[in-house]
Amino acid sequence: MAFRCEGVDERPGLPFHGPTVGDPNASRRAPACGCAGDVGGRGPNSPVDEIDAIGDCELRVLGPFDALPDPQAHKQIQGRNAMSRRALLASGLFAGFFTTQIFAAEIKYDNYACYAGVNHVIQHADGYMSGSFDAVLMVQGPERDPLYLMSAHCVGTFTIISGEQEENGSCQYVNARGDKIFAVFARKGDPTKVEGTLRFVHGTGKFDGISGEGKYQDTGTYPPSGAANMGNGCNREWGTYTVK
């Protein structure tokens, strides 16, 4: 018969510590949680003569014994316990190595993306301005980039105080299959000189479990399109991400 513990029975009993397992006064006791075992063949003077336990738990006596187990059987128990622990350790190390290889791989991206959208601006005075933007961004390449041909909807705000600009916002990237990435960005300083931070914080589909850190920077200044309240430009975006 086999047993597997689901919790610890607190009734009085005798721990399994070698030969004391044969104490005729021992009462029934369940094994401590975290172990598993089998109760096997019968001895001539005992309900069982072999107990296998796996794990670093205390194995409690399951019933009264009228004689000590055979010494040879006791050695067999110890040997099988040691082999079981070695097997569990080896399998655990292999599983940990396999998991690390799958989930720890970093994916690099380095691309160029251009955007265009609507700006709402408050022009207070020279060097003092604020506004918001709602834009569409297209990742243009290179073709080997993992984000190639993704589109993004980006919204955000900016302020310029004493000539220093600060901006922050978020983007939702989507590919042709509908897999999405949610990212947040921030930058403080001259957009033509200062790098901004880009973080991937959530994803769906093939990007489920994504997290990543990156940067972005303007690639140049473009002339106004002539359309009212419209903005446009291009960025370089680069960094790494993982998908669990």
**Dihedral angle computed from the Cα positions of residues 152, 155, 159 and 165, in that order, rounded to the nearest 10 degrees:** -10
Taking a C-beta distance cutoff of 8 angstroms, is the pair 155, 185 a contact? no
CA distance 107 to 227: 38
Q: How confident is the model at residue 87 (pLDDT cuts 50, 70, 90)?
A: low
Task: Reply yes or no on whether the pLDDT at 94 is more than 90.
Answer: no
Return the higher-pLDDT residue of 89 and 79: 79
For domain 107-243, the CATH class is mainly beta
For position 217, what pLDDT does the model report?
96
**Structural domain boundaries of the chain?**
2-103, 107-243
- Of 2, 225, 241, 4, the C-alpha closest to 116 is 225
Residue partners of 44: CB distance under 8 A and separation at least 6:
none
Which band of pLDDT confidence, cut at 50, 70 and 90, is reported for residue 221? Answer: confident
Per-residue pLDDT averaged across 155-167, rounded?
Answer: 97
Residue 238's pLDDT band, with cuts at 50, 70 and 90, is: very high
Q: Which pLDDT value is given to residue 220? A: 84
- The pTM score is 0.59
The pLDDT tens digits for 105-159 are 999 999 999 999 999 999 999 999 999 999 999 999 999 999 999 999 999 999 9
Compute the mean pLDDT over every residue in the chain, rounded to the nearest whole number.
75
